[in-house]
Structure 1
């Protein structure tokens, strides 16, 4: 349940970048810095809980889907962190186009793939599901 806010921030970053590119208002570039930061830092925090599950629960550790989810999540968080780092500075709008927006779109793609694999973990493998009656 820790991942909802970072995902919302990183998906919201797509809209902030689009708004900045569309009208050039520096407000949207500043919003993008904050969304990228919340998404990256919150995502790394949430990933620690997932890493603990992956390492300590043998049933999860044996699932290829779990490893794929973890690898995609690390790739996504690396992109999100890089995106945040390039935006920090005196002029947050200087790097939004093309690099910031491009990295944002790649990050959103990784989010979609990680979400798909996470859904498979829950619905196909019953990871984090209480099946006792």
Structure 2
């Protein structure tokens, strides 16, 4: 791991906002795959409506979180210099574009839009989330983006362990 950390400019008490916000949209967009499959298996309209809500909430939340991540990319020069950060951002925009399309095609007819495009877009979004998350993990673990070594040392001292 890189010994020098890169601080986020958009943080609350040293904790970056982007990683705080991204978990819920990711969970919602992955949940769309499950609710789509539940609809396919049961033909219960509840699951089609659940998919519509999950993809809508996941998309809106993803755009909010992504905007904050984009601001960090543009504002912090050390992040801006990382190819991994640009790849993470580009994949995130591509994935959110797919999720937005998935949401828009479902608005008028949540059940009718499932075949074939809704399910295809849900699965493709899931693959894109995996790739984007992998690169986000590299930013944290390999480049120490948003990691505070000082806070890690303080916490380790309080717990009585080696950092």
Q: Sort the TM-score into its range (normalised by shorter chain).
A: over 0.9
3-state DSSP class of the match of 2:116?
Answer: helix
Corresponding residue of 1:21: 40
Matched, 1:105 2:123: yes
Matched, 1:55 2:74: yes
Aligned to 1:129: 147
- Structure 1 residue runs of 4 or more that deviate by more than 3 Å after TM superposition: none
> Out of 67, 79, 85, which is 1:66 matched to?
85
Q: Given the alignment of the two structures, is residue 88 of structure 1 paired with residue 107 of structure 2, yes or no?
A: yes
TM-score normalised according to structure 2 size: 0.79
**Cα deviations by residue, 1:25-68 (Å, 9 ceiling, x for unpaired):** 11000000000100110000001110110000000000000000
More helix per residue: 1
Partner of 1:119: 137
What is the TM-score normalised by the length of structure 1? 0.97
* Count of residue correspondences: 132
Local SS of the residue matching 2:111: helix
Q: How far apart in 2 are the matches of 1:120 and 1:92?
A: 36
Q: Which structure would you say has the larger Rg?
A: 2
Runs of 5+ consecutive residues of structure 2 not aligned to the other structure: 1-19, 154-163
CA RMSD of aligned residues (A): 0.7
